[in-house]
Amino acid sequence: MTAGTSDVAAGAEAAGAAASRGGSRPHLVVVGGGLAGMAAALLAVDSGARVTLLEARPRLGGQTTSFRRNDLWIDTGQHVFMRCCTAYRGLLARLGVEHLTTLQPRLDVPVLLGDSLTRTRLRRTSVRLPAPLHLAPALLGYRALPFAERLRAGLAAFQLGRLDQRSAAVDERSFGAWLTSHGQGPAATKALWELLTVATLNAPAAEASLGLAAKVVRTGLLDGADAGDLGWAEVPLARLHGDAAMAALAAAGADVHLGAKVRSITAAGGGWELAVTAGGTNRGEAVPGTDAAGRLRADAVVLAVPPPAAADLLPAGAGPQPARLRELGDSPIINVHMIYPRQVIEGPFLAVVDSPIQWIFDRTISSGLAASGPPGAQYLALSQSAAEPWIDRSANELRTLFVDEMARLFPAARAAAPLEVFVTRERTATFRQAPGSLALRPGTSTGLPGFALAGTWTDTGWPATMESAVRSGLAATRESLAGMGVVVNGLAGSAEGDRKAAGRSPAPARVLPRQSADEAPSTHTTHSSTTSLLLDQAVAPNASDSSDSPDPRGENTVTAATKAVTGPVPTGQPGHSSTGGFPV
């Protein structure tokens, strides 16, 4: 944002107001403790600002966390990232948890064809080819399509990558309509393109924005040969995100208040005033830092909450119109969780086409089942994006549908019925990434000095993924602090950040007690950020319940016999470090 004269003056006024209150550092309040809020708070505190983070829930992590169900940790959604997600990977590095994730040496997605019960693979070639030529072997080897359709799909991918996603004409067109006009029939749409679209955009091709589809294909497939390599957590998301962020913010001197509900935000004295009340287990208690009336003063604010909540909290004069935020809508996700007495699938995940099932993830180790459950049992999570057909169906209906489908696909599932099946659903998992959604996504700036927006729904240029969330938080911190003369450093741990932070001693943190994760409800899930699952050579089809193909984790294979993940998990990427990630 280029600040005008009035903005600069207002920023100077805010900085002066902070000094007059006796604070040597501007005070930034972040509302919302999901990935966007975490990223915003960490970048601000690493840049020398005084930071308060307010989260209404009893834990950090937003939609990318976990809850306790009996002896198991259940992730709220099956989140996957790619090598090109540099901002998210940079956040993991800042939190010191990269070793708790796996990043494939090369993209490798096993695919089960539900009609023939055979397997193929989307796998990046081991031959060193420059982008985008590296894509050719992957598509040519994908046996889910006839050879002629593979050729047409390759041409369509290159044409898609040349589109201008910022063009209104592109954004207002559906991905499905574009595919049809470029020779992609129902088979290619279902077996290839919707493998990508449904997972990344939480919408079928006919209902997805062409602009966002073009972004995914270009960034995940065409810009870099290794951009689409997949990564995932080997521990519960609560440990990877919320717990790690809580520790990092405390160590950096931020104030973190959980169960704190923000009721209103208004301009006051060159800064901002937030009305805050305690909730959750702390209901009725005052939130530390507020005055007798429950008001918290700030020099700058980052609002990192979902669109409906943001619409309710926007202060007078903010640029985005609340009605426009509500027009973004939402798309649901469900997860069907199954615990089998024996192993049903091999490998960490499996994609399925020609079936109601979309993606299957093995959560035996990360959930704790390997350590506490029956010997040999396997915990599978079926991630179902674009879940309108299922979101309102009863748990019993969903159980019958998906258990029967698993039995059809896998002999091992027919031989041993699941010990337990339960469903988690998230009706507002993502905003609706439909044609025309670009015009509804606001930028970080609100036109009000010191007040910025963050969230996957802001105009980051990315779909509603973890990468989008982190990028939005970083941009919002820069925007909110820019007018007060704050130099936004790199993060602690980076060479630039360490140089600029040298000699600064963080203030002691004040962190409210958290509600035990055992008290969390078991009905949350979120968007499977399986961002861009296309790319490479397939192998010969195998039987539907086993595979002689190499594990898609490469050499980094954690077997179900492993009792627990209690220490560092190797990533299979020796010597690798995130480049340019956090901040981007």
Helix, strand, or coil here: 357?
A: coil
- From CA 108, how far away is CA 550, in angstroms rounded? 9
Mean pLDDT to the nearest integer, 181-200: 93
Beta bridge partners of 362: 380
Mean pLDDT to the nearest integer, 101-113: 96
Return mean pLDDT, the chain.
82
The answer, yes or no, to whether residue 121 has pLDDT greater than 60, is: yes
Q: What are phi and psi of 339, to 5 degrees?
A: -115, 115
Amino acid at position 198, single letter: V
- Per-residue pLDDT tens over the stretch 391-418: 999 999 999 999 999 999 999 999 999 9
Q: Which two tokens stand for residue 11?
A: 């920023």
- Per-residue pLDDT tens over the stretch 41-81: 999 999 999 999 999 999 999 999 999 999 999 999 999 99
- Are 234 and 100 in contact, with CB atoms under 8 Å apart? yes
What are the distances in angstroms from CA 567 to CA 232, 347, 517, 563?
16, 21, 21, 12
The answer, yes or no, to whether residue 506 has pLDDT greater than 70, is: no
Task: Mention every residue, 6+ apart, whose C-beta is less than 8 A from residue 156.
Answer: 179, 182, 183, 184
Kindly report the length of the chain.
584
132 upstream amide cis, omega within 30 of 0 = yes
pLDDT value of position 546: 31
**What 3 state SS string does 295-329 have?**
EEEECEEEECCCHHHHHHHCCCCCCCCHHHHHHCC
**CATH H-level superfamily of 5-63+237-328+433-519:** FAD/NAD(P)-binding domain (3.50.50.60)
- Per-residue pLDDT tens over the stretch 511-563: 433 333 333 333 333 333 333 333 222 222 233 333 333 444 443 333 333 33
Mean pLDDT to the nearest integer, 442-453: 96
Residue % of the chain over a pLDDT of 90: 71
Beta bridge partners of 397: none
- From CA 258, how far away is CA 264, in angstroms rounded? 17
Domain spans of the chain, in order of start:
5-63+237-328+433-519
Instruction: State the pairing for strand pair 101-103/72-75.
Output: unpaired
- Residue 126 backbone zone (phi > 0: left; psi -120 to 50: alpha; other: beta): alpha
Mean pLDDT to the nearest integer, 438-456: 96
Mean pLDDT to the nearest integer, 337-351: 97
- From CA 465, how far away is CA 530, in angstroms rounded? 8
pLDDT category at 133 given cuts 50, 70, 90 is: confident
pLDDT category at 6 given cuts 50, 70, 90 is: very low
- Per-residue pLDDT tens over the stretch 345-392: 999 999 999 999 999 999 999 999 999 999 999 999 999 999 999 999
- The sheet with strand 271-278 has its strands ordered as 260-268, 271-278, 295-298
